[in-house]
Amino acid sequence: MTVTIIRENAIAVVTVDNPPVNALSQTLRQALVDAVAELDADAAVRAVVLICAGRTFIAGADVSEFGKPPQPPHLPDVVASIESAKKPWVAAIHGSALGGGLEVALGCAYRVAVPSASLGLPEVKLGIIPGAGGTVRLPRLIAPAAAVDLVTSGNPVGAKKAVALGLIDAVIDGDLRSGAIAFANDVAEKPLPQPISRRAVPLVDAGFWENAEKAVAAKAKREAAPLKALASIRNASETNFADAMAFERETFLELRGSSQAAALRHVFFAERAAPRPPELTGVAPRGIRSAAVIGGGTMGAGIAAALRDACLPVVLVERDTAAVERGLANIHAIYEGSVKRGRMMQAVADERMAGVIGGDDYGLLADTDLVIEAVFEDLSVKRAVFAKLSDICRSDAVLATNTSYLDPRLIGEGLAQPERFLGLHFFSPAHVMKLLEIVPTETTAPEVLATGFALARLLGKVPVRAGICDGFIGNRIVKVTRAQAERLLLSGATPSAVDAAMRAFGLPMGPFEAQDLGGLDIAAFQRKAARTRGETPFAPVAERLCAIERYGQKSGGGWYDYQSGDRTPKPSETVVAIIAEVAAGRPQRAWDEMSITDAIILPMVNEATRILEERVALRSADIDLVKIHGYGFPRWRGGPMHYAEARGLAEVVAVLDRLAAEGLAEPPCEGLRRPAERRHAISPS
């Protein structure tokens, strides 16, 4: 870490260089305080430019210090010392000014930024609130409604919007350093502006805070930080600066030590580690400048849109001309939807569509860098596709299958240059869902695997390497979840009680609602395949529902009844009767919310641990990312593995043992038992 000071006539340029993102470590905080003192004492200096080296302005507090006791100088004091400097400090922003970085900029007398800069207070995404004046200075600088928006959403704004809000004073086109120095020379002539801390918060309309509270609570659900952030802004508008700062700091420190913050920090670092697995260090990916998708159904269309969103030219190959038209229409419908929802300009949608060429001639693929197959989930259909690709594509083109359950080794069998083949498992809708399971076979070359990870980065997806097994990581765990959900029904719980408990836990939907939405027929098809492999999948009630064609919402009923045109699930007497028949003779018990949650989540953890033991997943945090980004597991719980660790593995094992004794779950695997016993042995009693 270095902070250098260079004098450019009467302007001092303070450059922060603390790679990778200029986070505010203790040494940087100290260096900034020292710089204020040094420049205050230098009579030749009339104004100061605070600028950063590398790819960004200060991106915030150093999150890796959050688990440790705070070390002085504390950030609020650093910001206060910049704000009380005798000369005007000008924050010159490029990249991102986030969290503590923006708070430092709010301490400066002025803020300027390049057009591509973004500014925000993302603390709520880490389970905390701004801790160095963000909630107190911001409403004193910009309209309280805008401050509420920025702080409680955690979403950044671009430079253009920042000027409109009054968050920054100018946008600098061209070289930031010289532009900021010119700006500093101008303001050096003027009296110092009133520090933000001494400004008043503008009055708000009656009912403003109550309405904001309702809106924030509805979005935050069970996340604590957004409402606490709102409370801090409200307090800041109703009390004096010093008291407001004390209130903010107290809330910040309380949340910093909370379990939600620990979970969100875990996810933050897991997401940043995911794109760069250590086993691929130094392996260069192949270049991807063009892509193709085979099959333009649900997945193919979504994958094509994801590739176009990353500006890759896309070829879509279908079975015949009619199917090509349907496939193109599917992609068009995705963009039309984005335009209708106001998320995309029509011109952008048109440009995206113009970059897709459709056809039924595999010859279109002769020079494509990456081909992703998304045809029917049928081994012989997929093998026939790869036989053609093998003949037509360049020998260094990367060839991928999006299969959900088939063994990629069988799909790619017989392929010329098998080292270029791998599984790329997208999640539906593929242009929205962030997860990408990357499934190498034994023959996949390291650079082809690295290409999968590079593609994920290009598409803005979270990549997780998965080994080959039925369902890879995510869907294999889903099978256990569904079996557990049925075990609950057979021992006294109802579908609506199970779904309600899982929603209360933080999932967007319970297992039965989710099956009704996706369709029960898909899982029935997979169970059939499993039985032909000699397996005995457990879904006695689902089998009965499929036998009477209750496939879910699409057939007017599944686990629930649905009235036509209404997606609201209604408890079904038919289902109650079937459950009673299947459950006859089984012991019944009472299920409360917590015990339902345990009977679903802890077997999930058990299966996930087996997945780790088998090295189908390489890191426990990868499993957390799969469940969060593929299945809506609440981020603030950190994923199932983090949840189990936080709960205590000894307790997880004890609950699983109790469930197993009642025949309500598999017993805990050795991979769970061993660390639980080890930790139990070393923890002080």
The distance between the two most distant Cα atoms of the chain, rounded to a whole number of Å, is 91
- For ligand 3HC, the closer CB: 457 or 674: 457
Tokens found for residue 10: 């009467």
| Rounded CA separation 651/612 (Å) | 20
* x/- track of binding to ligand 3HC for residues 70-89 (CB under 6 A): -----x--------------
To the nearest whole angstrom, how small is the minimum distance from the Cβ of residue 227 to ligand 3HC? 17
The one segment of 13-21, 165-173, 377-385, 643-651 that binds ligand NAI by CB under 6 A: 377-385
> Using an 8 Å Cβ cutoff, are 11 and 183 in contact?
no
| Rounded CA separation 128/487 (Å) | 38
Tokens found for residue 263: 């979970």
- For ligand 3HC, the closer CB: 156 or 552: 156
Q: Which of 251, 403, 595, 597 binds ligand NAI (CB under 6 A)?
A: 403
Q: Which of 11, 12, 16, 23 binds ligand 3HC (CB under 6 A)?
A: 23
Total of chain residues touching ligand 3HC, rule CB under 6 A: 27
- For ligand NAI, the closer CB: 40 or 377: 377
Q: Which of residues 41-70 bind ligand 3HC (CB under 6 A)?
A: 55-56, 59-64
- For ligand 3HC, the closer CB: 247 or 538: 247
Give the pairing of strands 11-17 and 2-8.
antiparallel
| Residue 98 contact among ligand 3HC, ligand NAI, none, beta carbon within 5 to 8 Å by kind | ligand 3HC
- For ligand NAI, the closer CB: 326 or 674: 326
To the nearest whole angstrom, how small is the minimum distance from the Cβ of residue 117 to ligand 3HC? 11
To the nearest whole angstrom, how small is the minimum distance from the Cβ of residue 385 to ligand NAI? 5
> Using an 8 Å Cβ cutoff, are 318 and 293 in contact?
no
* Annotation marks residue 123 as catalytic: yes
| Residue 131 contact among ligand NAI, ligand 3HC, none, beta carbon within 5 to 8 Å by kind | ligand 3HC
Q: What is the dihedral of CA 77, 82, 85, 87, to 10 degrees?
A: 180
| Residues paired with 7 in a beta bridge | 12
Provide the terminal-to-terminal Cα distance of the chain, rounded to the nearest Å.
Answer: 43
- For ligand 3HC, the closer CB: 99 or 418: 99
| Residue 375 contact among ligand 3HC, ligand NAI, none, beta carbon within 5 to 8 Å by kind | ligand NAI
| Residue 295 contact among ligand NAI, ligand 3HC, none, beta carbon within 5 to 8 Å by kind | ligand NAI
Q: Which of residues 114-133 bind ligand 3HC (CB under 6 A)?
A: 122-123, 126, 130-132
To the nearest whole angstrom, how small is the minimum distance from the Cβ of residue 102 to ligand 3HC? 8
| Rounded CA separation 662/488 (Å) | 11
The CA-based angle 649-630-494, given to 5 degrees, is 70
134 binding ligand 3HC? (CB under 6 A): yes
**How long a stretch of residues is the chain?**
685
Tokens found for residue 203: 């009055």
| Residue 23 contact among ligand 3HC, ligand NAI, none, beta carbon within 5 to 8 Å by kind | ligand 3HC
| Rounded CA separation 67/229 (Å) | 20
Alpha carbon separation from 249 to 115, 156, 622 (Å, rounded): 32, 22, 33
| Residue 126 contact among ligand 3HC, ligand NAI, none, beta carbon within 5 to 8 Å by kind | ligand 3HC
- For ligand NAI, the closer CB: 242 or 322: 322
| Rounded CA separation 99/488 (Å) | 44
- For ligand NAI, the closer CB: 58 or 317: 317
Q: Which of 11, 12, 13, 21 binds ligand 3HC (CB under 6 A)?
A: 21
To the nearest whole angstrom, how small is the minimum distance from the Cβ of residue 333 to ligand 3HC? 31
Alpha carbon separation from 340 to 329, 344, 345, 433 (Å, rounded): 16, 8, 9, 20
| Rounded CA separation 286/458 (Å) | 13
Give the pairing of strands 47-52 and 89-93.
parallel
To the nearest whole angstrom, how small is the minimum distance from the Cβ of residue 267 to ligand 3HC? 12
To the nearest whole angstrom, how small is the minimum distance from the Cβ of residue 611 to ligand NAI? 18
Q: Which of 56, 81, 390, 404 binds ligand NAI (CB under 6 A)?
A: 404
To the nearest whole angstrom, how small is the minimum distance from the Cβ of residue 83 to ligand 3HC? 15
> Using an 8 Å Cβ cutoff, are 521 and 614 in contact?
no
| Residue 537 contact among ligand NAI, ligand 3HC, none, beta carbon within 5 to 8 Å by kind | none
Beta strands in 212-321 (DSSP E): 291-294, 314-317
| Residue 297 contact among ligand 3HC, ligand NAI, none, beta carbon within 5 to 8 Å by kind | ligand NAI
Tokens found for residue 659: 């469930």
Sign of CA dihedral 636, 642, 648, 650: positive
374 binding ligand NAI? (CB under 6 A): yes
| Rounded CA separation 161/74 (Å) | 30
To the nearest whole angstrom, how small is the minimum distance from the Cβ of residue 62 to ligand 3HC? 5
| Residue 172 contact among ligand 3HC, ligand NAI, none, beta carbon within 5 to 8 Å by kind | none
Alpha carbon separation from 138 to 121, 143, 169, 179 (Å, rounded): 10, 8, 14, 25
269 binding ligand NAI? (CB under 6 A): no
Selecting among 83, 103, 223, 607, the annotated active-site residue is 103
Axis crossing angle, helix 520-532 with helix 511-518, rounded to the nearest 10: 90
| Residue 294 contact among ligand 3HC, ligand NAI, none, beta carbon within 5 to 8 Å by kind | ligand NAI
- For ligand 3HC, the closer CB: 106 or 665: 106
Selecting among 83, 123, 437, 645, the annotated active-site residue is 123
Q: Which of residues 96-115 bind ligand 3HC (CB under 6 A)?
A: 96, 98-100, 103
Q: Note the helical H segments in 573-639.
A: 573-583, 593-613, 620-631
| Residue 47 contact among ligand NAI, ligand 3HC, none, beta carbon within 5 to 8 Å by kind | none
> Using an 8 Å Cβ cutoff, are 128 and 150 in contact?
no
| Residue 204 contact among ligand NAI, ligand 3HC, none, beta carbon within 5 to 8 Å by kind | none
* Annotation marks residue 103 as catalytic: yes
Q: What is the 3-state secondary structure (H, E, C) of 170-223?
A: EECCCCHHHHHHHHHHHHHCCCCCCCHHHCCCCCCCCCHHHHHHHHHHHHHCCC
Total of chain residues touching ligand NAI, rule CB under 6 A: 24
| Element containing residue 353 per DSSP (H, E) | helix 346-354
Q: Which of 109, 372, 375, 579 binds ligand NAI (CB under 6 A)?
A: 375
- For ligand NAI, the closer CB: 428 or 563: 428
| Residues paired with 48 in a beta bridge | 12, 89
Axis crossing angle, helix 321-340 with helix 298-309, rounded to the nearest 10: 60
Sheet holding 356-359, edge to edge: 356-359, 314-317, 291-294, 370-373, 398-401, 421-426, 435-440, 462-465
* x/- track of binding to ligand NAI for residues 290-329 (CB under 6 A): ----xxxxxxx----------------xxx---x---x--
Amino acid (1-letter code) at residue 65 = E
| Element containing residue 644 per DSSP (H, E) | helix 640-647
| Rounded CA separation 361/385 (Å) | 12
Alpha carbon separation from 310 to 196, 349, 665 (Å, rounded): 41, 13, 44
Interface with ligand 3HC (CB under 6 A): 20-21, 23, 55-56, 59-64, 75, 96, 98-100, 103, 122-123, 126, 130-132, 134, 269, 272-273
Interface with ligand NAI (CB under 6 A): 294-300, 317-319, 323, 327, 374-377, 381, 385, 402-404, 426-428
> Catalytic residues, which ones?
103, 123
